């Protein structure tokens, strides 16, 4: 017979999950499918109501959590084309990759979290988890040196053998910080991002972005797109809308050495208006109507920014554990995968009937032996590289622009002379610094030669 559980101190559940984003819901599904007593608490009116994401979702990780059921997810368009634009004030160097095989075998889709999250948490509910929306967790309950449960505004205190914290990141102190289990992130470990959802007729989206019906594209823009700040701007095509946004390091947006006027030019809103007004971007958005405006933080602290992800009575997943890879625009997948690994760890604890800190450490070991920590280590120095070398986002794109202008311009100068000019210009203005910066970048990004 199943144990009587009501998440009281006397009859604690197996797990309480805080936050019904990709991390928390993946953890809840993994445990509920194995018959554990799980409560998934979300502060939003419904899951997804408070969430912001570009966003591109990677179906492999959804499948790892749900098996074939992932196919019924409310996804927008499979991404067939990936474009990267390195922009200067009046030119852009575009790298595009069009992969028609993705029509049959997509690995990523555009997604709107306001649609996806309620569906995803519905899968948790269907698996037997108790989903509690409109409920803010105000504190972790600490008893006898361990996290024993959570305090909620609506339901009072609830208790479980493990609390999985998947609260994401925000500007205010989160639950872990409040409980002294995580240090406050530094401004150079966080990006501030904004996003607009712009309504547009599907046929117009397809015509404008040169897509077959139903196909999707992602465009990510660097350099002048963010006024040279460390970050990028994006356009993702949804079924009937565009997701347009981007962000940059918080430390660069709030640099105390700048004047007030200069800082005003760097606010998320100023970056967004600047991006939308660029001559290459404006025509793509023309005729669209902004229906939503959202802002959110992105953790960018790298491997060294990861807090302790397990402790007595608790585990931490997803953004709350600072697991994100801004270089590859990945976060939702690290969230789902870490949530799944945390869920599997708790299932194992339940089988052993032991929920001690030493048992919960299994989660960290699983993370360490997965691609998640391999990627976190690989890109640990990527954000500091841009932060300390602003020339990479402004001077070098401008140099490349001038070299290409010379290369493509047909103006009576012989090709030999043109190539000489280009090399001379690169030597003079880029010089040894340019070569050293390339080596530095290769080393920082741990490119396997």
Ligand X SMILES: Cc1cc2nc3c(=O)[nH]c(=O)nc-3n(C[C@H](O)[C@H](O)[C@H](O)COP(=O)(O)OP(=O)(O)OC[C@H]3O[C@@H](n4cnc5c(N)ncnc54)[C@H](O)[C@@H]3O)c2cc1C
Specify whether the CB–CB gap between 192 and 248 falls below 8 A: yes
Give whichever of 137 and 278 is closer to ligand X, judged by the CB atom. Answer: 137
Binding site for ligand X (CB under 6 A): 18-24, 41-44, 47, 50-56, 136-137, 166-168, 175, 193, 195, 245, 296, 298, 318-320, 324, 329-333, 335
Q: Which is nearer to ligand X, 37 or 338 (CB)?
A: 338
One DSSP character per residue, 352-366 reads HT---HHHHHHHHHH
- Whether cis (ω within 30° of 0) applies to the bond prior to 55 is yes
Whole-Å CA distances, 14 to 5, 40, 130, 355: 9, 12, 12, 9
20 vs 91, which CB is nearer to ligand X?
20
135 CB-near residues (< 8 Å, 6+ apart): 41, 42, 43, 152, 153, 154, 155
Q: Which is nearer to ligand X, 217 or 403 (CB)?
A: 217
The nearest distance, CB 47 to ligand X, in angstroms, is 6
Instruction: Provide the minimum distance between the beta carbon of 49 and ligand X in the complex, in angstroms, as a whole number.
Output: 7
Q: For residues 153 and 431, which CB has a smaller minimum distance to ligand X in the complex?
A: 153
Q: How far is the CB of 297 from ligand X (least distance, A)?
A: 7
Whether the Cβ atoms of residue 335 and residue 314 lie closer than 8 Å to each other: no
Q: How far is the CB of 66 from ligand X (least distance, A)?
A: 16
Helices (H), 282-414: 282-285, 332-352, 357-368, 371-378, 382-388, 395-408
Encoding tokens for residue 53? 């994401």
The nearest distance, CB 61 to ligand X, in angstroms, is 9
Q: How far is the CB of 274 from ligand X (least distance, A)?
A: 16
Structure tokens at 411: 């103006």
Q: Compute the Cα dihedral for 312, 314, 317, 322 and give only its sign.
A: negative
Nearest distance in Å: CB 345, ligand X? 17
Query: Which of 337/360 has CB closer to ligand X?
Result: 337
| Residue with Cβ nearer ligand X (31 or 193) | 193
Q: Which is nearer to ligand X, 295 or 347 (CB)?
A: 295
How many Cα atoms occupy the beta-carbon half-sphere of 10 within 13 Å? 1
Distance CA 223, CA 397 (A): 7
CB of 1 to ligand X, least distance (A): 32
Strand extents, DSSP E, 231-357: 231-237, 241-249, 289-299, 310-311, 314-316
């Amino acid at each position: 017979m199943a144990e009587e559980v009501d998440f009281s101190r006397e009859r604690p559940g197996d797990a309480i999950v805080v936050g019904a984003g990709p991390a928390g819901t993946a953890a809840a599904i993994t445990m509920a499918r194995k018959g554990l007593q799980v409560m998934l608490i979300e502060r939003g009116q419904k899951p997804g109501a408070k969430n912001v994401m570009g966003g591109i979702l990677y179906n492999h990780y959804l499948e790892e959590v749900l098996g074939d059921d992932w196919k019924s997810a409310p996804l927008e368009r499979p991404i067939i084309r990936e474009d990267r634009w390195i922009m200067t004030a009046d030119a852009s160097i575009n790298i595009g990759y069009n992969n028609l095989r993705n029509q049959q075998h997509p690995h990523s889709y555009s997604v709107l979290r306001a649609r996806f999250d309620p569906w995803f948490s519905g899968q948790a509910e269907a698996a037997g988890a108790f989903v509690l929306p409109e409920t803010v967790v105000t504190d972790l309950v600490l008893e006898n040196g361990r996290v024993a449960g959570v305090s909620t505004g609506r339901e009072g205190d609830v208790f479980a053998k493990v609390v999985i914290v998947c609260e994401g990141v925000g500007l205010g102190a989160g639950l872990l910080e409040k409980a002294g289990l995580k240090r406050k992130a530094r401004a150079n470990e966080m990006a501030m991002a904004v996003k607009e959802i712009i309504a547009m007729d599907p046929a117009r989206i397809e015509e404008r972005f040169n897509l077959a019906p139903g196909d999707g594209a992602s465009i990510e823009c660097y350099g002048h797109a963010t006024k040279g700040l460390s970050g990028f701007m994006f356009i993702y095509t949804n079924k009937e809308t565009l997701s347009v946004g981007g962000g940059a390091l918080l430390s660069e947006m709030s640099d105390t050495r700048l004047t007030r006027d200069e800082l005003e030019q760097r606010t998320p809103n100023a970056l967004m208006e600047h991006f939308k007004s660029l001559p290459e971007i404006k025509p793509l958005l023309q005729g669209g109507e902004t229906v939503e405006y959202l802002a959110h933080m992105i953790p960018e602290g790298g491997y060294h920014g990861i807090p302790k992800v397990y402790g007595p009575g608790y585990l931490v997943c997803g953004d709350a554990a600072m697991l994100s890879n801004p270089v590859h625009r990945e976060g939702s997948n690290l969230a789902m995968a870490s949530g799944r690994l945390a869920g599997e760890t708790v299932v194992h604890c339940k089988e052993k009937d032991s929920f001690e800190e030493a048992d919960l450490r299994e989660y960290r070991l699983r993370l360490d032996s997965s691609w998640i920590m391999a990627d976190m280590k690989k890109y640990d120095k990527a954000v500091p590289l841009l932060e300390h070398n602003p020339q990479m986002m402004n001077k070098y794109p401008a140099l490349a622009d001038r070299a290409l202008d010379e290369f493509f311009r047909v103006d009576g100068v012989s090709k030999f002379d043109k190539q000489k000019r280009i090399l001379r210009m690169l030597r003079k203005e880029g010089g040894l610094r340019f070569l050293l910066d390339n080596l530095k970048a290769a080393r920082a990004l741990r490119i396997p030669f």
